Structure 1
Amino acid sequence: MASTAFGMATPYVNGAAKEIADGVGAALNTTFSAAELVSEWIPGSRIIFRYVRASHQNDPFRTLLEILLVVFMFWYFGRKQQKPGFNDLELTPKEVQELIDEWEPEPLVPPLTDFQKTELEKLPIIAGPAGPKPKLADGKERINLSSYNFLGIMNQESIKEKAVEALRKYGVGSCGPPGFYGTIDVHMDLERGLAKFVGTESAIIYSQGFSTVASVIPAFSKRGDLLIVDDGVSFATQKGVQISRSVVKYFKHNDMADLERVLEQVRLDDAKSKKKLLNRRFIVVEGLYLNHGDICPLPELIALKEKYKYRIMMEESFSFGVLGKRGAGISDHYDVPANKIDILIGSMTGALASSGGFCCGTKEVVEHQRLSGQAYTFSASLPAMLAVAAIEGLNILEKEPAILTRLRENASVIHSTLNKNLHPDAEVYPREEASPIAHLRLRLQCSREEQERLLQDVVDEAARNGVLVSRAKYVTDQELHPPQASIRLVASAGHTRKETEKAATVVRDAARKVLKSRK
């Protein structure tokens, strides 16, 4: 019997195997004895040999395995390495050219469908600056209900003059990110002005509107944190949620009962879990939903936030400068202090007729983003002329409150006119007339492609009659919850009541004509 590495006796198959094993063991013992005598002059070697001999006597097969591993190590590192390209196939120039000729690259984007080609051919071309009533290439003016020119100040002369002055003083661009010589005095003035107008401690500005929310969300919510998200948020908000890599749970659009159900379910799951996680938790919503046009019920949201101990991330790209007596956004609309919203995100591309975005909150919230906001840290800062344009837009909003009154009146006119004698196969959403965004949808039971074709016919018919509107367009294969196909109409204070009523009537009649012809 011979001992093994597992401490068990293993019978030999025959006597020959036993003799071989005894011979190997004797040879190893002799080798160890000889090596010990030869290396006595090496300091510390006796300790090593005593350890190896004891290990060998207890388990000779382990010693054999270790020797084989040492031999393999010397062979592996001592072998001659092959040079890169040693076995490369050599081709003649003719063969190389044949391979190049045969190669067909994949298209960078999917090919256009026949519907998309037709749509591009009919796309109206604006000759000159955009505005409430732009002039097209055919020389005729159209009433514009498709641009987010809520306050009608896109072509305001005072904004142009201020922008030109800033251009001559500061140049075209900042040529650097905010943390590296990209911040100048007008940036600081704009941040202070935004914080004061909204009613928060501090504010930070970003150079791209889309990237603002997509950067702010992952700046605060990381892997393992929890986001409770309205399933009707816009594409930019969806990208921010996706980039954060947080745990995400969705609730039905603008449904506070369903939100409470989700929050309660999370609470119950936490009670059952043995691991007590200390993670950050946010409710992500929008003040005015671009994809639906309705307004967030902020008071109910705050009540749930305080009950379940969450923070609110409010995206206000389309409610800032639009809702409320002063145009300060969703908090102004409900007369709620802005500090009830933990993180307030907005855009300057709509109401302020400029570019870029901003985030308002406490000083801690703002300063955290100066190093953690990816779009802030790694992007060139907002050009000075655009910062000055935003400041002037903010001044107009503060000095001319009548603009907001006119905007609300025009929004109400659009809703009431569209709903009057509207074709039964169409509907207007949302129902609330305070929203400056209205969606004209179809009630037909048909495919999305068919609905989009019918809606495009309505758009084309309205354009022929002097009104510019557009279908709400989405990247449907990337949208988490694609909204229903619709025509999005945007009210503007740059139109008179008569112009707004006329434009809404044209769109309504175009819808009636297209839907009647379908039958």
Structure 2
Amino acid sequence: YLRERERHDWSHVHLASCYGGLYGRPFIESFEETPMLVAVLTYMGYGILTIFGYLRDFLRHWQIEKCSIAREKENQKDFVPLYQDFENFYTRNLYMRIRDNWNRPICSVPGAKMDLMERTSRDYNWTFEYTDRVVQDVINLGSYNYLGFAENTGPCADSACEVTMKYGVGVTSTRQEIGNLDRHEEMEKLVAKFLGVESAMAFGMGFATNSMNIPALAGKGCLILSDELNHASLVLGARLSGSTIRVFKHNNMQSLEKLLREAIVHGQPRTHRPWKKILIVVEGIYSMEGSIVRLPEVIALKKRYRAYLYLDEAHSIGALGPKGRGVVDYFGLDPCDVDVMMGTFTKSFGAAGGYIAGKRELIEYLRSHSHSAVYATSMSPPVVEQIITSMKCIMGEDGTTIGCKRVRQLADNTVYFRKRLREMGFITYGNNDSPVVPMMLYMPAKIGAFGREMLKRNIGVVVVGFPATPIIESRARFCISAAHTKDIIFREQGC
């Protein structure tokens, strides 16, 4: 009773804060705390696996069990170790036991359904052999194909084929040399128009968009305030910049404001000079938690303390908002309030690469100072055409309503899928409107068992455990797509 009362009180306070003027709609997220019994059993499971891991290492040392691990050569023992001991231990004794759940080879378009190449292992997942059998029509609940544009038929595929015949597949040069095509220019103008900002520029890799551009925007004497659950590309970019990094609790505005106040009051360490720049770095949708950034509050804090905001919309662009324009559109905010808008084309647009968008001065600065812009080879022409065609489809500039229907279909599928999982008694994380749906498994034994059982039922899912998640929060992660029908999501699963 007390637990239910606490949940009710927390929900009431949470919703009340959402209606405080910054939000035009309810903002509801759920993160149920791991039950004590489940946490104890999970730790016990990892403990047993660790004990047996050391036992097997002992048997390998005495050559009782065959050793397949990567290890130092005898003549290199006095050098600095190439492999980290614990990571190597974890990989060979825990990860290898369930390695068959990852890196599955796909031999079709990763659409609503896909084909997988069957493989088997005779040495407990150290190596795999292909059986020459194809598992067909596997329901794809793992790809980031939010709007269903990962397809080999339709207007996007046709346009990409035409451009390939005209321009070829590769550009073989950088944008600043002989790799700047008219299609690149058109794409960037279209991205700026789609986002409602002055200018935009594109990059060939989404990861590099973050890791190579943050160092161009911040440096020594600057402060980066990063959400604790930010993607590895954001973390790497912040570290490469040489800036001071401070981490605030996930989506916790009290934690963020405390860091902002301390930064302004105390300034830089030792000298106490004002920071040259304070950059807040957040994501639109957090891909492992399924949560949406509390953007109205972040923008309010940014304005109050005169900081800059870097927003990574890799998973939210195309997947949120009535017009599919991301988390800014979802909350009905002004795009000009976000200083640096970043996103990728690898998910909702079914292509590759990423973009940075914002004021014209910002983009012109990055064109000459970003390593990814100066030294990286230009985006492939068919990839550019895929982006242009899919974005025009979302905007309705193709003369159809296909894009608008897909955006609505994704929203409907997300709400329906989350509702049905809750009705079936599963514990899910994240926001009700997030197409990333983590379903909690907790115990290590369930990670491999769930992934294999789903494949037996012709369902492809992503299972995640430590160290990608906290040790007691292992989960299966579903990614919903507009290409999914209710029949695909539930009836064919036999649920």
The 8 Å contact of residues 232 and 483 in structure 1, kept in 2 or not, is answered as no
| Residue 413, structure 1, aligned to residue 378, structure 2 | no
| Residue 459, structure 1, aligned to residue 451, structure 2 | yes
Change (3 A) 1:165 1:180: same
Paired-residue identity, % = 26
Q: After TM superposition, give the deviation of residue 367 of structure 1 in Å.
A: 0.9
The whole-number CA distance in structure 2 between the counterparts of 1:115 and 1:165 is: 48
Q: In structure 2, which of residues 109, 114, 122 is the aligned counterpart of residue 134 of structure 1? A: 114
Q: Which residue of 1 aligns with 2:334?
A: 337
Q: After TM superposition, give the deviation of residue 122 of structure 1 in Å.
A: 5.5
| Residue 246, structure 1, aligned to residue 235, structure 2 | no
Taking structure 1 as the reference length, the TM-score comes to: 0.71
| Residue 214, structure 1, aligned to residue 211, structure 2 | yes
| Residue 147, structure 1, aligned to residue 127, structure 2 | no
Where 1:320 maps in the other structure, the secondary structure is coil
Q: Which residue of 2 aligns with 1:367?
A: 364
Q: After TM superposition, give the deviation of residue 396 of structure 1 in Å.
A: 1.7
Change (3 A) 1:351 1:190: same
Q: Which residue of 1 aligns with 2:189?
A: 192
Q: After TM superposition, give the deviation of residue 330 of structure 1 in Å.
A: 1.1
Q: Which residue of 2 aligns with 1:259?
A: 256
Asked which structure has the greater RCO (Cα within 8 Å, sep 6+), the reply is 2
Aligned AA (1:374): H
Q: After TM superposition, give the deviation of residue 267 of structure 1 in Å.
A: 2.5
Change (3 A) 1:305 1:373: same
The 8 Å contact of residues 413 and 501 in structure 1, kept in 2 or not, is answered as no
Q: After TM superposition, give the deviation of residue 116 of structure 1 in Å.
A: 3.6
More strand by share: 2
Q: Which residue of 2 aligns with 1:62?
A: none
| Residue 346, structure 1, aligned to residue 370, structure 2 | no
Q: Which residue of 2 aligns with 1:494?
A: 483
Change (3 A) 1:378 1:274: closer
Where 2:219 maps in the other structure, the secondary structure is coil
The 8 Å contact of residues 452 and 486 in structure 1, kept in 2 or not, is answered as no
Aligned AA (1:205): A
Uncovered stretches (5+) of structure 1, i.e. residues with no partner = 1-100, 445-450, 510-519
Matched residues, number: 392
The whole-number CA distance in structure 2 between the counterparts of 1:189 and 1:501 is: 41
Q: In structure 1, which of residues 422, 425, 429 is the aligned counterpart of residue 425 of structure 2? A: 422
Describe the superposition over 1:213-238 as per-residue Cα deviations: whole angstroms up to 9, x where unpaired. Answer: 11221110101101111111111111
Q: After TM superposition, give the deviation of residue 372 of structure 1 in Å.
A: 1.4
Q: Quick check: which has more Rg, 1 or 2?
A: 1
Aligned AA (1:457): A
The whole-number CA distance in structure 2 between the counterparts of 1:115 and 1:358 is: 38
Change (3 A) 1:230 1:183: same
Describe the superposition over 1:227-275 as per-residue Cα deviations: whole angstroms up to 9, x where unpaired. Answer: 1111111111111111111011111000112111211222222399864
The 8 Å contact of residues 143 and 499 in structure 1, kept in 2 or not, is answered as yes
| Residue 471, structure 1, aligned to residue 463, structure 2 | yes
Aligned AA (1:245): G
Q: After TM superposition, give the deviation of residue 121 of structure 1 in Å.
A: 4.1
Q: After TM superposition, give the deviation of residue 277 of structure 1 in Å.
A: 2.7
Change (3 A) 1:182 1:474: farther
Q: After TM superposition, give the deviation of residue 484 of structure 1 in Å.
A: 3.8
Where 1:394 maps in the other structure, the secondary structure is helix
Q: After TM superposition, give the deviation of residue 151 of structure 1 in Å.
A: 0.4
Q: Which residue of 2 aligns with 1:392?
A: 389
The 8 Å contact of residues 413 and 500 in structure 1, kept in 2 or not, is answered as no
The 8 Å contact of residues 227 and 283 in structure 1, kept in 2 or not, is answered as yes
Q: After TM superposition, give the deviation of residue 141 of structure 1 in Å.
A: 1.0
More helix by share: 1
Change (3 A) 1:241 1:302: same
Where 2:136 maps in the other structure, the secondary structure is coil
The 8 Å contact of residues 285 and 296 in structure 1, kept in 2 or not, is answered as yes
Q: Which residue of 1 aligns with 2:435?
A: 436
The whole-number CA distance in structure 2 between the counterparts of 1:492 and 1:231 is: 27
Uncovered stretches (5+) of structure 2, i.e. residues with no partner = 1-72, 118-133, 397-402
User: Which aligned pairs between 1:167-182 and structure 2 lie closer than 5 A?
Assistant: 167-182=164-179
Q: After TM superposition, give the deviation of residue 161 of structure 1 in Å.
A: 1.4
Aligned AA (1:419): R
Change (3 A) 1:239 1:484: farther
Change (3 A) 1:189 1:316: same
User: Which aligned pairs between 1:93-104 and structure 2 lie closer than 5 A?
Assistant: 103=75
User: Which aligned pairs between 1:54-133 and structure 2 lie closer than 5 A?
Assistant: 103=75, 110=88, 112-121=91-100, 124-133=104-113
Where 2:220 maps in the other structure, the secondary structure is coil
Q: Which residue of 2 aligns with 1:401?
A: 404
Describe the superposition over 1:369-428 as per-residue Cα deviations: whole angstroms up to 9, x where unpaired. Answer: 1121111211101011111111011012122201011101111122111112325xxx21
Root-mean-square deviation (CA, aligned residues, Å) is 2.5
The whole-number CA distance in structure 1 between the counterparts of 2:95 and 2:228 is: 28
Aligned AA (1:438): V
The 8 Å contact of residues 447 and 465 in structure 2, kept in 1 or not, is answered as no
The 8 Å contact of residues 230 and 286 in structure 2, kept in 1 or not, is answered as yes
The whole-number CA distance in structure 2 between the counterparts of 1:457 and 1:126 is: 21
User: Please, which moves more after superposition, 152-161 or 105-114?
Assistant: 105-114
The 8 Å contact of residues 234 and 291 in structure 1, kept in 2 or not, is answered as no
Change (3 A) 1:435 1:366: same
Where 1:277 maps in the other structure, the secondary structure is coil
